[in-house]
Structure 1
Amino acid sequence: MKLKHIAFIAGSYLPVALQAQEVTTEKDLDPVTITATLNPVASSKTGRNLFVIKGEEISKYPVHSLDEMLRYLPGMEVQARGPMGAQSDFVVRGGTFQQVLVIIDGLRVNDPNTGHFNSYMPIIPSEIERIEVLKGASSAIYGSDAVGGVIHIITKAFARQQTKGQQIQAGVTSGAYGLLNANAGGYYSGDKWTFSAGAMSNNADGQEQRGINGFFHLHSFSASAGYKINDNWRVAYRSSYDSRRFAAQNFYTSFASDTATEKVNTLWNQLSVNYHKNNNNFSLQAGQKMVDDHYAYNKISTANNNRSTLWQALATYEHRFNDAVIFTGGAQYQRKGIRSNDRGNHTVQQAAAFAALNLEASEAFTISPALRLDWNERSGYELVPQINTSYRYGKLLVRASAGKTIRNADFTERYNNYNKSLVTSGRIGNPNLSAERSFSYEAGLDFFASKQLKIATTFFQRRHTDLVDWTTTSYADMPRKDNLSRTGTYALARNISKVNTTGVEADIIWQHSFNSKRHLSVTAGFVWLNSVTSDGFTSFYTSSHAKYLTNGMIRYNVGRFNISLNGIYKVRDAQAAAGLKGVVSKEYFVLNAKAGYFIIANKLNVFAQADNVFDKSYADLLGAQMPGRWLMGGLSFRL
């Protein structure tokens, strides 16, 4: 590893940045979470490795979208296909991008058509109270897709506790290649009503690619309201619209003829009704998601038009017997559908019942068993257990977790290129795919060295059977040849008998106040992974995850001046393809920098920013070339 990489890793990112006169406490290193257990509990009592970042911190770093923010959180690998929210795949602990579940206020975001759309989170950063990232198996509570981990976004209007007051924030950024980004949002919370709304737009002509420029026009709008009916009842509602049009060259293929463009529109509606009295808490949530996807491979090809729908409902009941014993139970329903000229018209239903118990056997020892009965219209019933434990001894925390995970194939894996009259090359779906199953276990040690420093280490292993991935397959070996050309080059979605992933991760969080005007915040994440398949051939996504990954961010405040850095160093298998402009190099290091000055203290900030400071040529996936150095500047305002 190069010296500049080591220098950056020595201080890297912040989960909870320090405000101008904020005093750091151990609670900043041990925040309350709801993701691991479905009820509020300190992260040290969950037996899990969690990372929490406050929503107000997002605008302080050199990032432009939520997927870019996640890219620098410890343990997160974000395989970006395009910049500033165009498209990204989330990978946690070496799983495929479909094996990370994204949730907004308890409801699933994962798209039934393809996991590539999971980064299209229909939410505005100004609406976010916090983001919780749970690493590792979570299917016992959340069901399908919660294999590698869970990304849970909790918003201000839907949070259990509202902070009274109001806030307005806005920002604008302009730069090279026709860049113009803007965002604005507001929040109000009184005795009865809570309102939150915002808009965000990222636009650029883009840097030159092989066949076209890497343009993007990305727009999000969201509004939510909550009303406290009385001391027991509260209701909240959100509606969001997200529209993204972008260059998608080699996002899904490695062919030189691919000069694709794509437009994805998402409509999201969410309703929550909550009842709380004494030791009982009940919530009923309903959600509707509709995604229209228009994909053109090149100017002469017939475009794919896909409309996917997701209807879902979630009911949960929590009873606190006392401070040491909490029971949570619930039921979930989903109806997934697609109408497509490429994949055909299909629907599938899922339902589940689950129960979890949080037990503090003593002040130091906690144990949390959970059990889920999952039903899928195609794969039938599945019993999914999990158990988590933790033990605190002074500054040391020992934790362990073990559980089963499941995932059902999405519509792209089952039906891609299935409805066309002739397919000459590309990825071919497989309707006969079995559901993925795996067993995961982990053990970790957290060291709370001080109120400012926490070091967490975790060993984990996941043993998969029937993992779904794409593998190069000859025409003769294709199970269905009805619309295939004998001379084509194909990748078939298939179940791989066994895939075992072993890894070690470490997170470092350090926050230090030199005095009332000088603050430093540092976080770094380190991950080592090794995946082994049993079938003797290489699958696409299991071979593309990083073998070694470190990422993080530094923020330094002195008076009205502030500077932040974020970066990533990644080692993976090298790849190349004839005729493509970019390659997947064995390793890369990318650094972004942002420097600002508050013209009005803590309110009006002027900044300059450089993405990819060292002008590194790199790609996370073959052919999907990422931008080189990009210079920009702007203003941000908070009241």
Structure 2
Amino acid sequence: MKKLFFPAIFSLVIFQANAQNDSTTQNLDEIIIQENRIQTPFSKQSRNISVVTKPQLETTPARSLQEVLAFVPGVDVRQRGITGVQADIGIRGGSFNQTLMLLNGIKLTDPQSGHHMMNIPVPMINIDRVEVLKGPGSRIFGQNAYAGAVNVITELSDRRSLRVQGYGGDFGMKGINFAGSLPAGSLKQNLAVSYDESNGHWYNSDYKVSNIFYENGIAINEKHSLRGMIAYTDRSFGANGFYTSAFPDQWESIQTTVGALSHTFTQDRFKLNTRAYWRKNEDEYRLRRNEPEFYQNFHTSNTYALETNGTYQSKLGTTGFGLEAREEKIESTNLGNHDRTLAGVFLEHLVNLKGGFDVRAGIYSNYYNDYGWKHFPGMEVGFQATEKLRFYTGIGKSFRIPTYTDLYYQGPTNVGNPELKPEQAQNFEIGAKWNQSGLFAELVYFNRNTDDLIEWARPDEETPWQPQNFNEVKFNGIEASLAYRFANTPASVRIKEFQISYNYIDANLVNQPGTETRYALTALKNQVIGGALLGIGQKLEWNTKMRYVERVSQDPYFLLDMRIDYNRMGKVGFFAEASNITNTDYIESGTVQMPHRWFRAGFMLNLE
């Protein structure tokens, strides 16, 4: 049935192709990268940044943000189930705890465990774009932006609209998504709801995921505006071998709530944004799904934060400043009850010099009640050699603090270490960008030297894993990428977009004799990502994506995915997707087997 169903969908879509306006092109030069203080256009950034636009989100063969990020150069996505029901994100060889996730600049760091940082309570249908900052982000975003940061951006619209998307596929997969924009006078507001479920691709891998997301904003007058958000996600899933292969019947249920309120004051050359936000995460974990009495953990963590960030334009350039205060609490049957206080001060300055040079430098000073004050400076220098060619270089110091799981966990196969210190890194990168009429090319070299790396280790298989501070780890890497967005033509078959990238990372862990490590020696080593979006007629789009991934001490694998959209921007559209067309046998994390070839198909309604 499967062999007949998918080609039939493709044939139906191809047969019906006709006129539609091309909407895949989006000028990256016009995108302002949404950092919390100094914001500059993508083309003027002196850093390695990738932007995933809304058209790319919509045409990628993926059912989740986690799967979309797997096609971003330098990003290592390790899923333990389909559609990102549980996934870890690493950047430039970093671990899942060394990447900071943000939602409109709001930190989603989970003090319990980095495994929960991708519990983003926003349906993908409501995401406008995703900005991936590679390299040290502590000076920009604060703690835990160690190897990079991912900022998920949503936008408020002044037009009424309703989008509905439904789909079904292999493994009993089905889902429905609603996203509406409901402006009322000067009040803009978005509401999105989604539900996804599956029987799972192998034993004990079923899941149910629900999301609800509401945001609004209002301009009170020319100087003052308010923006608010409340979001909730509930995900329960069979966790076969997720955290240890010794127990295949694991199960987990996680509920995450995020709320935020911000005020922006703007006058002439001065801008100040103040916001308060709260994140709550509830986690129930069972080592045996149907025997909670055997081993069961309950964790509830709350994060409360207050931030203020400002910029001032003067003849000397742009000055950015900020203050933050955070309190992180946890109540846990396994980790115990703990709380900690963090505070930070940001100061940076951007100046444009003669001859095409610009310099941006600053410092982030962090207070952590267990360790006192630590300081993290950084600087970038850019040189606009021509209108099309830009060179850049930068240095920076980054850090992350241990999670409560790192410090206090007690289990049959994992034991925490309350003596852990924060890990720190010194970073350097140098690169060049070429941007001309839809063509974007970039080449960058980076280096990261880590002090006191937090790594789970053990002397032998009979001893539980325990995190340790390793003295020194060195990462060297090269990223080369090329993307081209073709101008719209009347040709019946045409290439609309093309991308290719290569990443190489050399991870040199100065290992301790007789010690086995869990994560450091599975870092990304070679990564090739490619893709081409074809237009057939005016209503049909065919996107092909490929990945070659090799990690240290693991077998490499190659994956090929495809998606076809018919009438994507019309009132009624259809799509079909295929993942792992090559039927590759592969593992992304631990011993969790990923699915072989699998299919989905669905519909879209766009109403205004």
Q: TM-score, normalised by structure 2?
A: 0.91
For residue 519 of structure 2, what is the aligned residue in structure 1? Answer: 541
The answer as to 2:252 corresponding to 1:262 is yes
Matched, 1:596 2:569: no
Specify the SS of the correspondent of 2:406.
helix
**C-alpha displacement at 1:30, in angstroms?**
6.7
SS of the residue 1:38 aligns to: coil
What does residue 434 of structure 2 align with? Answer: 447
CA distance in 1, matches of 2:352, 2:182: 37
Query: Is the 2:507–2:523 contact (alpha carbons within 8 Å) kept by the matching residues of 1?
Result: no
The verdict on how the C-alpha distance between 1:285 and 1:350 changes in structure 2, with shifts beyond 3 A counting, is same
Q: Equivalent of 2:473, from 499, 512, 530?
A: 499
Please, what is the CA RMSD of the aligned residues? Answer: 2.0
Q: Is the 1:544–1:621 Cα contact (8 Å) retained in structure 2?
A: no
Flag the 1:172–1:21 CA change in 2: closer, same or farther, 3 A: closer
Q: Which has the higher contact order (CA 8 A, sep 6+)?
A: 1
Partner of 1:118: 117
Partner Cα separation in structure 1 for residue 344 and residue 531 of structure 2? 39
CA deviation map 1:401-457 (0-9, x unaligned): 10111111000000111xxxxx5x311100110111110000001122x31211101
Deviation at 1:130, TM superposition (A): 2.0
2:354 maps to which of 356, 362, 365: 362
In structure 2, what is the equivalent of residue 560 of structure 1? 539
Kindly provide the CA deviation profile for residues 171-194 of structure 1, in whole angstroms up to 9, marking residues without a partner as x: 111112211111110124466111
* TM-aligned CA deviation for residue 101 of structure 1: 0.6
Alpha-carbon shift at residue 167 of structure 1 (Å): 2.7
Matches of 1:55 and 1:239 in 2, distance apart? 22
- Structure 2 match to 1:607: 575
Indicate which of 238, 248, 267 corresponds to 2:229: 238
The structural deviation recorded for 1:513 is 2.7
Instruction: Supply the AA of the counterpart residue of 2:369.
Output: E
Shift of 1:496: 0.5
Count of equivalent residues:
579
Deviation at 1:284, TM superposition (A): 0.6
**Contact 1:271–1:285 under 8 Å retained in 2:** yes
- Corresponding residue number in structure 2 for 1:465: 451
Task: Give 5+ residue unaligned stretches, structure 2.
Answer: 1-19
CA contact 1:195–1:225 (8 Å) conserved in 2: yes
Structure 1 contact 21–516 (Cα < 8 Å) conserved: no
- For 1:527, give the aligned amino acid: N
- Aligned residue number for residue 239 of structure 2: 248
Q: Distance in 2 between matches of 1:339 and 1:407?
A: 22
Whole-angstrom CA distance in 2 between matches of 1:205 and 1:526: 35
Assess if the C-alpha contact under 8 Å between 1:217 and 1:245 holds in 2: yes
2:605 is the alignment partner of 1:619: no
Residue aligning to 1:631: 599
Instruction: Show the counterpart of 1:60.
Output: 59
Bigger mean CA deviation after superposition, 115-124 or 38-47: 38-47
**Alignment check: 8 A CA contact 1:223 1:240 kept:** yes
Which of 423, 430, 451 is the aligned partner of 1:436? Answer: 423
The answer to whether structure 1 residue 525 and structure 2 residue 501 are counterparts is yes
Residue 126 of structure 1 contacts residue 185 of structure 1 at CA under 8 Å; is this kept in 2?
yes
Any idea what SS the aligned residue of 1:74 has? coil
2:181 aligned residue (166, 183, 187): 187
Tell me the distance in 2 between the aligned counterparts of 1:61 and 1:568: 13
How many Å separate the matches in 2 of 1:331 and 1:570?
40
Output the CA distance in 2 between the equivalents of 1:447 and 1:618.
35
Q: Deviations over 1:364-414 (max 9, x none)?
A: 211100111110011211011000111011232110010111111000000
Q: Residues 548-587 of structure 1 correspond to what in structure 2 (within 5 A)?
A: 548-558=526-536, 559-574=538-553, 586-587=555-556
Q: 1 CA distance for matches of 2:183 and 2:428?
A: 42
1:178 has 2:178 as partner: no
- Where does 1:19-418 land on structure 2 (aligned, <5 Å)? 20-21=21-22, 27-28=27-28, 31-35=31-35, 38-157=37-156, 163-189=157-183, 192-209=186-203, 212=204, 214-255=205-246, 257-298=247-288, 299-300=290-291, 301-322=294-315, 325-362=317-354, 364-394=356-386, 395-417=388-410
**Contact persistence 1:220–1:240 (CA under 8 A):** yes
Amino acid paired to 1:253: T
After TM superposition, give the deviation of residue 612 of structure 1 in Å.
1.5
Tell me how far apart the structure 2 counterparts of residues 92 and 224 of structure 1 sit (CA, whole Å): 29
Mapped partners of 2:579, 2:511: distance in 1? 41
Q: Give, in whole Å, the separation in 2 of the partners of 1:20 and 1:97.
A: 40
CA distance in 1, matches of 2:23, 2:60: 19
Shift of 1:141: 2.4
Partner of 1:578: none
- 3-state SS of the aligned residue for 1:619? coil
**Fraction of identical pairs, as percent:** 23
**Is the Cα contact below 8 Å between 2:480 and 2:501 reproduced in 1?**
yes
Output one character per residue of 1:296-330: Cα deviation in whole Å (capped at 9) or x when no partner.
111442211111111111101111115x7111101
1:611 partner amino acid: S
Q: Please give the secondary structure, in 2, of the residue aligned with 1:383.
A: strand
User: How does the TM-score come out when normalised to structure 1?
Assistant: 0.87
| Cα contact 1:186–1:197 (8 A) shared by 2 | yes
When residues 67 and 231 of structure 1 are mapped into structure 2, their CA distance, relative to the original with a 3 A threshold, is: same
Contact 2:34–2:105 under 8 Å retained in 1: no
Secondary structure at the aligned position of 1:165 is classed as: coil
User: Displacement of 1:333 after TM fit?
Assistant: 0.9
